[in-house]
Structure 1
C-alpha cells in the first residue's frame, strides 16, 4: 500500500474520507454538507466515535463516493481514535475495490498534524493486512493508494513526510511479527525463524548471531535444551544486537522473546483443540524481531539486545518428563511438574544469557505463556509482572499512546513461595492458582534484581476474530508499545 500527502483534490473513481467531530458536523462544500445534515436528521450519522456513513455524489457526470467518519467530541480526540476510525474507512474502501482513497483529516488543536498523519498511515497499512499465501484460490489483492491531507494545509512539510515514513516503518514491524506468528510450524521452525531474524537484521541494520545446539550445551543452558531435545528440529539461540548509543555503552535494554515454534505440551500433552494454534507460541519472538526492526531502521539513540531461545516442545524417548529435575544456565535446579509449562524454562536461560553475556541492565521478556492470562484479562489486555514500578510506568505511558492495554498483577511474597520446590530450588508449575503470576515470578528468580518487566501476551498476540486493526490470527502485539517505549528513551 502506498501512502502520501497531497493537496486535497479528488478525481474520478476516488473515495473521499471526511473526519467529523460530534460537536461540529459541518463541511465546507455545500453538496457534502447537505448530505451530512440529512444523515444526521435521520440518525444515520451523528459524528460519534466510530460512526461511518457512505453516500455518493454526482460530480462532473461521474460518481464520487464519500465516507463520513465520526471522531466523537473534539476534546476527547486521541491518536488511538484516529487509528481505529481510519482502519474502518480503509476496510470499507477495500470492500468497494477502489484504487485511490483520500483521507481528509480534521483541523484541530488537540493533536498535531504529524501525529494524526503518522497514525492514519499505521492504520491504513494494518487495515489492509491479510495472510492468505497458502490459499490456491485467493482473490487478487486490491492495490490501494492512500493520500492524506488536511483542510488549510496543502503542502507536506518535512515533518509530515517524516511522520508518514515513521508510520510505514511501524506498520512494517507489526506486519513482520504478524506474518511470523501466522506461518505454520512446518514452515517456521527454529532454523527458519533464525533465517527470518537474519533477513530482518540485514534489511533494517542490526546484527544477528545464531548459535546451534553445541553452543547451547557449552553455555550450560540445560533448561532450554531440556525442552528442545525431543524434537528433530535443532534448537537455535538467536541474538540480535543494535547499538545506537555508543556514548552510553553500559545502558543496554534486553528484550527476550519466547520462541516455541510449536508446542505439543510434551508428555503433559495438550488436547488436539489446544494444539491447532500452537504455531503461535513464538509470538514473543516475533514481537522482539518486529520491534528490533523498527528501532534499528529508525536509528534510535539506544542500545538494545534481543534474545530468542527457539525450539519445539515435542515427545520422544529422550524427552524431559514430569518429575525430572534439571539444571539451568544460572545454576539453579528446577523440578519439572508439567512439561507443558515449558516456555518459562526456555526464557530463564535466555534472560540469564542476556544479563550475563550481553550485559543488559534492564530486561523485558515477552511470552505467550499462560492460559490463565486469558482467563484473568481476556484477549484485550497483556498481563504484567514486574519488580520495578518506575519501569512499569514507562510501559504504561507508551501504551497510553499506542492503545495497547497492559495491567500489572501483584507479586507478593506469598506468590514467590509457590514457585519453590521441596526437592529442588524451584518448580516449574505450582498449579492453577495465580498461574500467570507464578509463571512470571518463576522467570523473576533469574533476573538478578535488574529492572524487569514480564509481559504475558497469551491473550493479545493472537485474535480469534477480526477487529478494526486486526484480522484473525497474529496481531503483532505489543510491537508498537515496545518501539514507543524505546523511542521515548532515545530523545
Structure 2
C-alpha cells in the first residue's frame, strides 16, 4: 500500500473515499459539509456511518468513525478506529482513501498520528489468501493523510516507521499462516535468509551436524522423530558499532509442527500446530523492523527450528537427556518440547554470543491461554527494570501483557530426584515452564513471553485478522528502540 501525506485541499478529486473521525457528542459537521444528522452518528467508540454520494466530484464515499469520549482516547482506540475504517473501505471497494486529521491533531502530534495510521492501515489491509483460487482484489491501494502542515520530512519518517512495523508484522503473520507441509525447518531458514537480504540483517544457518557440535542435545532429541531435519538459525544486526559488547538476545520458539510426540495430542489439538513457530516469527519480524529502521542497537536472534513427531527414533517419556549447558533433564512429557529447544537456544546466546539481556517468546503452554485468554500475553521476568521497559513498549504497541510470579516454591517443582530438571511437573504449568527456561540464563536480565493464547485469532478484529496475529513484533521493536542509544 502506498501512504502519502498532503495539505488539505491540495489534491482534490484524487481520493475515492474519506475517513472522518469524531469524538462522542462532538459534531464533525462543524468542519465538514457532508449531509449527516447528529442523531444518526454520535461518535460513540467504533460507531460507524458511511455515505455513498451520487456525485462525480471526489471523494464521494465518506466513512464516519467514532472515537468515543475525548478524555478516554488512547493510541489503541485510534488504532482500532482506523482498522475498522480500513475494513469498511474495502467493503465499499475504495482503492484510494484520505484520512482527515481534523480534531485528532489537538490530542496527538501529527507524527504520532501518522505512524499509527500507517501501521494500522497495513495491518488492517492484510489477508492471507495465498492458497485461495479466487483472491479478493478489492484491497485498498493508496492512503493519503491530509493535514495543515507544509514540512513533511518528519511526518514521512513517522509514516515510514509505521509502514515498516505493519509490514514486519505481516511478515510474521505470513510465516505463522503457512501450512507445515510447506514451512519445514529448512524452508523457514530459507525465508529468514530472504528476509535478511531484504531488510538488512545477517543470517547464519546450522545443520544437524553443527547443532550436535554445539552440544544442543535437548534440541536434537526433540527433532529426532521427524524426517525433516532441524535447522538452527542465527540472525545478527549490529547497529551500534561503538558498543559491540552490548547485545540484546532474542530467542523464538521454532516448532514448525508439533504433534506432541509420543505424548500425542488429540486431533483437535493438532490442527493448528503449524502455529507453534509463532515465537520465531515474532523474532524474525522484530529484527526485520529494527534493521530496516536502522536502530542504534545490537541484537542477535536465535531459532531452534524443528518438528516434534512420532517415529521409532523419537524421544520418550521417562528419558533423561542432556543440554548445551550440561544440565540433565527428565522427560515427563514429550509435548513439553518447546522449552527443551528454547533452553539450548537461550544458552547459546548467553554462552557463545555473550548477550547482556535476553528475551524468549514462545507458544509455550495451554495454561497461559487458560489463565489470560486470547488477548493477554503471559510474562515472567527476573529483572524489574527490564520488565518495566517491556510494559512501556506495550503502551506503544497496544499489545497487552500480564506478569506471573517466580517463586522458590514453584522452582522446587521442576527439580526431580534423578536429574537436574524435569520438563513437566505438577503445579502452575505456565509458571514452571518459564522458571525452567530461567535456569539457563546465567543470571542475565531475562523476559519470557508466552503467546500461546495471543498468537492466533479465531475471529477477525479491527486490525487483527483471523489466523496468525503477528503478536510480539511491534512490542519487541519498541522495547529495543527504548534500549537503543
Instruction: Please say if residues 105 and 148 of structure 1, whose CA atoms lie closer than 8 Å, have aligned partners that are also in contact.
Output: yes
- Cα shift readout 1:81-133 (whole Å, capped 9, x = no counterpart): 22110111110010111211111123433211111011101111111100111
Matched ranges for 1:257-272 at <5 A? 257-272=252-267
**Residue number among 434, 442, 445 corresponding to 2:436 in the alignment:** 442
Asked if 1:274 corresponds to 2:269, the answer is: yes
- Cα shift readout 1:232-288 (whole Å, capped 9, x = no counterpart): 111011000111112112211000000000000000001111111000000000000
Residues 185/61 of structure 1: CA separation in 2 closer, same or farther (3 Å cut): closer
Corresponding residue of 1:318:
313
Corresponding residue of 1:98:
94
Structure 2 unmatched ranges of 5 or more:
none
Residues 249/342 of structure 1: CA separation in 2 closer, same or farther (3 Å cut): same
Give the number of aligned pairs: 482
Shift in Å at residue 73 of structure 1?
2.5
Distance across 2 between alignment mates of 1:13 and 1:297: 30
Matched ranges for 1:18-417 at <5 A? 18-29=20-31, 31-32=33-34, 34-35=35-36, 38=37, 40-41=38-39, 44-59=40-55, 64-107=60-103, 108-150=105-147, 152-153=148-149, 155-417=150-412
Distance across 2 between alignment mates of 1:148 and 1:104: 7
- Cα shift readout 1:276-323 (whole Å, capped 9, x = no counterpart): 100000000000000000001111000100000000000111110000
Corresponding residue of 1:2:
2
Instruction: Please say if residues 6 and 156 of structure 1, whose CA atoms lie closer than 8 Å, have aligned partners that are also in contact.
Output: no
Distance across 2 between alignment mates of 1:134 and 1:17: 32
Instruction: Please say if residues 344 and 442 of structure 1, whose CA atoms lie closer than 8 Å, have aligned partners that are also in contact.
Output: yes
Calculate the TM-score normalised by the size of structure 2: 0.96
Query: 305-314 or 103-112: which moved more?
Result: 103-112
Distance across 2 between alignment mates of 1:369 and 1:70: 37
Residues 219/22 of structure 1: CA separation in 2 closer, same or farther (3 Å cut): same
Distance across 2 between alignment mates of 1:110 and 1:483: 24
Secondary structure of 1:126 counterpart? helix
Residues 367/115 of structure 1: CA separation in 2 closer, same or farther (3 Å cut): same
Shift in Å at residue 24 of structure 1?
2.7
Shift in Å at residue 140 of structure 1?
2.8
Distance across 2 between alignment mates of 1:262 and 1:30: 53
Shift in Å at residue 205 of structure 1?
1.1
Instruction: Please say if residues 8 and 102 of structure 1, whose CA atoms lie closer than 8 Å, have aligned partners that are also in contact.
Output: no
Shift in Å at residue 63 of structure 1?
8.0
Shift in Å at residue 60 of structure 1?
5.7
Corresponding residue of 1:11:
13
Distance across 2 between alignment mates of 1:307 and 1:60: 55
Distance across 2 between alignment mates of 1:241 and 1:63: 46
Instruction: Please say if residues 16 and 58 of structure 2, whose CA atoms lie closer than 8 Å, have aligned partners that are also in contact.
Output: no
Shift in Å at residue 49 of structure 1?
2.0
Residues 93/361 of structure 1: CA separation in 2 closer, same or farther (3 Å cut): same
Distance across 2 between alignment mates of 1:30 and 1:365: 49
Matched ranges for 1:447-462 at <5 A? 447-462=441-456
**Residue number among 467, 474, 477 corresponding to 2:468 in the alignment:** 474
Query: 55-64 or 1-10: which moved more?
Result: 55-64
* Runs of 4+ residues deviating >6 angstroms: none
Calculate the TM-score normalised by the size of structure 1: 0.95
Instruction: Please say if residues 416 and 438 of structure 1, whose CA atoms lie closer than 8 Å, have aligned partners that are also in contact.
Output: yes
Secondary structure of 2:212 counterpart? helix
Secondary structure of 2:7 counterpart? coil
Secondary structure of 2:249 counterpart? strand
